[in-house]
Chains A and B, each alone.
Chain A
């Protein structure tokens, strides 16, 4: 965001009736069919996952039918059953509960940490900013995945530890984005006006500056959720994430991969659910980026 996007904004203002950034973005967003479809799919998926225990006809994911064993997909068991005769459809839905929950909570952690850190660094500027961002640089060069693995192996493999580990990885980029935004925003007159009115630093940062960084933050948040879901799945795949009897999509894929020569559906369905969810989040994130930030498409992470 720099002079380029400012001219772009004024340019748009000249074209017709004034339109807020949000109304404009909403218009662009609605035109983007794949992104809207992704959003609807994700809503449906999250709704099903959240309400799973109360949905009528949803099989119990822990109920074992040892006599039944692993069976291929059928009308009774849509996704088939695993070796213990558990219904795979229910396992996938309940796995999604855990995967999505971790995705959302982990993102929230990184959001809170990243936004406040970045906003403070950007607003303070000068030496404090230098020191704070140098610290972020150092953290960036840590071999994260190794440290996360170490943390999880050496200490507890609890969900809480997982949140800490995953949140820690993701807040750095958010901090950088918010800092960059705040650096340019704080030069603007509304900040000066707020200061002239005697408003304190904390209020200026969180009531006036942070809300103005919302666009890029929303875009990046949408891309953080799949990143965290992916990392959780990766850790679960290595046996470090969610511990049995609980199972996330990563756990299910790992279990399925072990027996895929015999029961290929056990790896196919959880893998599909995971991939489809990540795909939709990425599509949605791309769509939001185009809608909220149409002039800056350089960074496609």
Chain B
């Protein structure tokens, strides 16, 4: 176990190095710079800016300094939000994204698993077909179609919920539902497939044969193995969902990581872009590792090697 963890953690190093370097190169190769604006900036002022941000140094020096600071979780000041550190922006946007994602994930599990279990237990009945048709629709309607439609219905027609921003609890409902729908659908499909697989196995027959109530067979015996595919899906999905969704955050003007990243790319806010990409990648890998560990806990047959 310990060696396994160590090996996995060691693999983080080259992966992050490649991701960081790739982004670094990409950012420097890009035509146009962060201080290009419609208004002409005096040459002296521009040179001063470049010096302040260390952009007058040779590329190699910049690269080395970038990594040295990144190791201390310091990505420097943002180019576009003067006086603010990238670190601060991430620290401010992460909780927002995590809250949005956390609720969406919770909704996905609480709605998706029961739907999947019902569909599996009543395989090939109307319940099953209805559940799977709904799940497939949930996968097929993109969130940038669903979001505007929900706003149209609940905000602009029924005047029930606020159409955007992240303030009152009511303003969280539409973004969360929009983000969760596709995940609900996936979780339902995975649960169904996993449960069907498990319900066929001998130990389920044994459990039924010894007279266990069907409820207990399903809830206690089948579900624990049946949701394994969900576990392996939820990990990477959780990383994505917790880091926010670019689209949902854009539609609903939620000040999370996704919206900051898109804006940073458009603004060529290089330090913010680099910081966010690196942060996101590390977070993603860490969560994936946690998932694999969780997997072996759920299913003792899985050996970590």
Residues of A within 8 A of B (CB): 137-138, 141-143, 145-147, 149-151, 153-155, 226, 230, 233-234, 237-238, 250, 253-254, 256-257, 260-261, 264, 267-268, 271, 274-276, 278-279, 282-283, 286, 297-300
Contacts and interface: CB of A to CB of B under 8 A. Distances in A.
A155 B190 contact: no
Contacts of A155: 30-31
17 contacts: A138-B14, A141-B15, A141-B281, A141-B285, A142-B19, A142-B281, A147-B23, A150-B265, A151-B26, A153-B265, A153-B268, A154-B30, A233-B142, A234-B142, A253-B142, A267-B152, A300-B186
A253 B194 contact: no
Contact of B136 (A234, A250, A283): A283
A238 B152 contact: no
Nearest to B192: A300
B142 A275 contact: yes
B281 A257 contact: no
B193 A300 contact: yes
A274 to B, nearest CB: 6
Contact of B23 (A150, A253, A267): A150
B304 interface: no
Contact of B261 (A146, A230, A237): A146
B76 interface: no
Contacts of B30: 150, 153-155
B136 A286 contact: yes
Interface in B268-287: 268, 273, 276-277, 280-281, 284-285
A253 B280 CA distance: 28
Contacts of B280: 143, 146
Contacts of A254: 144
B27 interface: yes
B197 interface: yes
B149 A271 contact: yes
A141 B288 contact: yes
B49 interface: no
Contacts of A300: 186, 189-190, 193, 229
B94 interface: no
B160 interface: no
Interface string B145-189: 101110110001000000000000000000000000000001001
Given A230-B142, A274-B142, A282-B136, A253 B148 contact: yes
A168 B193 CA distance: 29
A275 B144 contact: no
A267 B193 contact: no
Nearest to A264: B152
A141 B145 CA distance: 28
A120 B140 CA distance: 34
A226 B141 CA distance: 11
Nearest to B189: A300
B281 A238 contact: no
B243 to A, nearest CB: 8
Q: Which of A268, A276, A278 has the largest count of B CB atoms less than 10 A from its CB? A: A278
A264 B149 CA distance: 9
A149 B140 contact: no
A300 B14 CA distance: 31
A60 B141 CA distance: 28
6 closest Cβ contacts across the A-B interface? A154-B30, A279-B140, A271-B145, A278-B140, A257-B148, A153-B265
Nearest to A279: B140
B145 A146 contact: no
B29 interface: yes
A238 B143 CA distance: 13
Given A141-B288, A283-B136, A275 B26 contact: no
A79 B286 CA distance: 48
Nearest to A230: B142
Interface string B240-269: 000000110011000000000110011010
B139 interface: yes
A97 to B, nearest CB: 19
